[in-house]
Every structure is written in C-alpha cells, then in structure tokens.
Amino acid sequence: MVTLAEVAQHAGVSASTVSYVLSGKRSISAGTRQRVEESIQVLGYHPNAGARALASSRSNIIALMIPLRTDMYVPVMMEIAIAVTTSARSHGYDVLLLTGEEGPDAVRRITGSGLADAMILMDVELDDERLPLLRDTEQPSVLIGLPADTSGLTCVDLDFGATGALCAEHLAMLGHRDIAVIGEAPAVYERHTGFAERTLDGLRSRSRELGLRVLHRPCEGGFDAMSLTLARVFDERPGTTGFVVQNESAVEPLLALLRRQGRAVPEDVSVIAICPDQVAVQASVRLTSVAIPAQEMGRNAVERLIAKLEGRGKDEVVLIAPELTVRASTGPAPATS
C-alpha cells in the first residue's frame, strides 16, 4: 500500500505539499505539481479513505436509503438509485446503500459515525419517523418524495397533485365522464406514502371542477388482483370509459383484460398510465402516460445535496412539473349509448 509519505519522498517534497497538490487548497508551482503527479502515477498512489475521512471529517460518501418493500414499483427505484450513484460519482462522491429496514436507527448510525456526509431518503411517508432526526442534525439531506410537513427539509419529487389533475383534464377534454383510478396496493395507502394520496387529491379536485365522476380502487399488481378490481369497477360504474393507472404492475393485466372483454383501447376505453416513458412505449399498446422522471429526480436530489454540502443551497421543495404524452391508448369518449 502506497502512502502519501512515500509519494512525497519519491517526488522530493514534503507530505503536506503532496496533500496540497491533491486538494488544490494552496498554490503549487507548476514544476512541483508535475513532479508530484508523476510520482503518484508511477507509484500508483490512492489516498486512503479512512485517513482522509478522519483528518478532514468528510467521507465523500452520500447515503441513499431505499425502500425494502416490494410493493412499490421497482424499476423506478432502481433508476433513481442509479441516477443518484452516477451523478454522485461525477461530483466525487460515492454512494452507500441503506435499506429502509433499519428505519430511523440507520439515520442515527450514519450521522453518528460520520460514515456519510449527507443522505438521500426515498419512499418518504407523509409523517415519516425519520424526519425529526433529519431536522435535528447538521447533516444535509434531501428527500425524494414529499412529507406532510416540509419545514426545514429539502424535497424533490414529481408534482403528483398536478399529475392527477393533468390526467383528469386530458380525459375530460376527450369527453369522458366516468373515470376509474387504479391505484397502488392498499398497503401503500395505509403507510401514507405521499405520492399516491397526492395524485388522487389532485385528480379528484380537478375532476370536480370538470364534472368528472371518479372511482378510486387500490390494486395489488398482477393479473388476478386486476381482474377482481376491474370487475368491481364495471359493476359499480358500467359507464366507465377512462382509466388512470398508477400501479405499473397493473397496466399489462388491465390491457389484457379489456381486450379479453372485447373493449377496444382507445375506441371504447381510454387508459392513461403514470409510469416511466420506457414502460409506456414498451407496453402492448403504446400508452398515453405521465412520465415519472426517475433520472431527473435522482440527479436533482444529488445536485441539491451537493449544494448544501458546499454551503450554498437552502431548504426548498422542488416539484417537477408533470408532462403528459399522448400516445395510442386514449381517444374521444364513445358516443353514449
């Protein structure tokens, strides 16, 4: 293992000089810099992370808490995680992966041990028990998601309220009157995960203004659950012609079921999905959708976090404006029979 001291000796300078070459915190003559950099190359030097963390009290690590559960749509999580990791790296940070499993203790452990300089939390509940800890600590943090009380916090999220409203508007504009929302699994609501409720609120209040009737049904993913849910929807509101699907693992089952029932999409029934674009274009019908901008959320969160770490950056709530892309799954409401 090569140390700073060895590099210094090899380059004929003092250890501190090498350190300053590395950090750029003091000016170094061109000649010295070059000699040092050569020695680093030749010896294959890599600064020791522990020593660096100890001396500077910065680990250059960002902690990322991802949900453990499997009832949330996973690709989105994965995409965010990768976006976070990639952009963190481009700022010189590594990412430590934590699962929600440990809960608030994980927050204590990380802030206490100085393992990470900052953290990003995903899957935030409306009244998340980790929040008080975050407010108390010096350690910068960013939430991906929106709790009920955002005071003293920085949050990044898709504007799910607007997303719901957008769906309502699109369907209303096409002349639909009875619409059904296929929501996330019941557990997601019980846990009071903000995004699901906010979507619904946004959709409902805009629907009221537009004179749409809304039926909301939570739904576990999969074919069987969707089948039951769909039956009950048409049972209760036979005239339903518009669907908004939030649970992505219900999308394909829904399409298959509608097909099987002889209801054509989009001639008889329109479907809007809230999902990443990739999913929308890969489905068995090219789906009109509101995109979940996973990449952007991850990148944005990292950028806020870095800003905070560097002293710029304030507490703020960033709501990304939703965009609805019209594809082949929505069309004018059929003439009333």
Partner DNA sequence: CGACGGAGTCGAAGCGCTTCGACAACCTAT
Partner DNA sequence: ATAGGTTGTCGAAGCGCTTCGACTCCGTCG
Minimum distance from CB of 35 to DNA (Å)?
9
Residue 4 binds which of DNA, a copy of itself, none (CB < 5-8 A, kind-dependent): DNA
22 interface partner picked from a copy of itself, DNA, none, CB below 5 to 8 A per type: DNA
Residues touching a copy of itself, count (CB under 8 A): 62
When asked if residue 14 is in the footprint of DNA (CB under 7 A), the reply is yes
Instruction: Say how far apart CA 13 and CA 59 lie, in whole Å.
Output: 26
* Residue 115 engages a copy of itself in binding (rule: CB under 8 A): yes
Q: Could you say which of 38, 41, 42, 51 contacts DNA (CB under 7 A)?
A: 51
Three-state secondary-structure class, residue 288: strand
Applying CB under 8 A, which of residues 15, 22, 28, 96 lies at the interface with a copy of itself?
96
Q: Which stretch in 20-28, 127-135, 138-146, 177-185 sits in contact with DNA by CB under 7 A?
A: 20-28
Q: How far apart are CA 142 and CA 300, in angstroms?
A: 10
Q: Would you state the structure tokens that stand for residue 164, as one six-digit string?
A: 């719901």
User: Restricting to residues 140-199, which ones interact with a copy of itself according to CB under 8 A?
Assistant: none
Say which residues have a Cβ less than 8 Å from residue 155's Cβ, sequence separation at least 6.
124, 142, 143, 144, 145, 146, 147, 316, 317, 318
What beta strand segments (E) does the chain contain? 61-66, 94-99, 118-121, 141-144, 155-158, 178-182, 213-217, 242-245, 270-274, 288-290, 317-320, 324-325
Which positions ≥6 away from 245 have C-beta within 8 Å?
181, 182, 251, 254, 271, 272, 273, 274, 275
What distance in Å separates the CA atoms of residue 2 and residue 25, rounded to the nearest whole number? 22
DSSP 8-state assignment for residue 17? H
DSSP string, 177-232: -EEEEE-S-HHHHHTTBHHHHHHHHHHHHHHHHHT-EEEEE---SSHHHHHHHHHH
The separation between CA 219 and the C-alpha centre of its own chain, rounded to angstroms, equals 21
Q: Which stretch binds a copy of itself (CB under 8 A): 7-15, 54-62, 158-166, 264-272?
A: 54-62
The interface region with a copy of itself, picked from 21-29, 73-81, 237-245, 299-307 by CB under 8 A, is: 73-81
Closest CA to 98 of 72, 73, 145, 130: 130
User: What's the Cα-to-Cα distance from 30 to each of 8, 34, 196, rounded to whole Å?
Assistant: 16, 6, 57
Q: Pick the stretch among 48-56, 160-168, 206-214, 304-312 that binds a copy of itself (CB under 8 A).
A: 48-56
Q: Which is nearer to DNA, 5 or 231 (CB)?
A: 5
Site membership for a copy of itself, residue 82 (CB under 8 A):
yes
Would you count residue 24 as binding DNA (CB under 7 A)?
A: no
Among 15, 22, 28, 74, binds a copy of itself (CB under 8 A): 74
Report the residue from 44, 55, 260, 337 that binds DNA according to the rule CB under 7 A: 55
Structure-block tokens of residue 278: 């990739």
151 binds, among DNA, a copy of itself, none (CB under 5 to 8 A by kind): none
Q: Is 42 in the site for DNA (CB under 7 A)?
A: no
Positions in the binding site for DNA (CB under 7 A): 1, 3-5, 12-17, 19-20, 22-23, 25-29, 31-33, 45, 47-48, 51-52, 54-57
Positions in the binding site for a copy of itself (CB under 8 A): 1-2, 44-54, 57, 59, 61, 64, 66, 68, 70, 74-75, 77-79, 81-82, 85-86, 89, 94-99, 101-102, 108-109, 112-115, 221-223, 249, 252-253, 255-257, 259-260, 278, 281-286
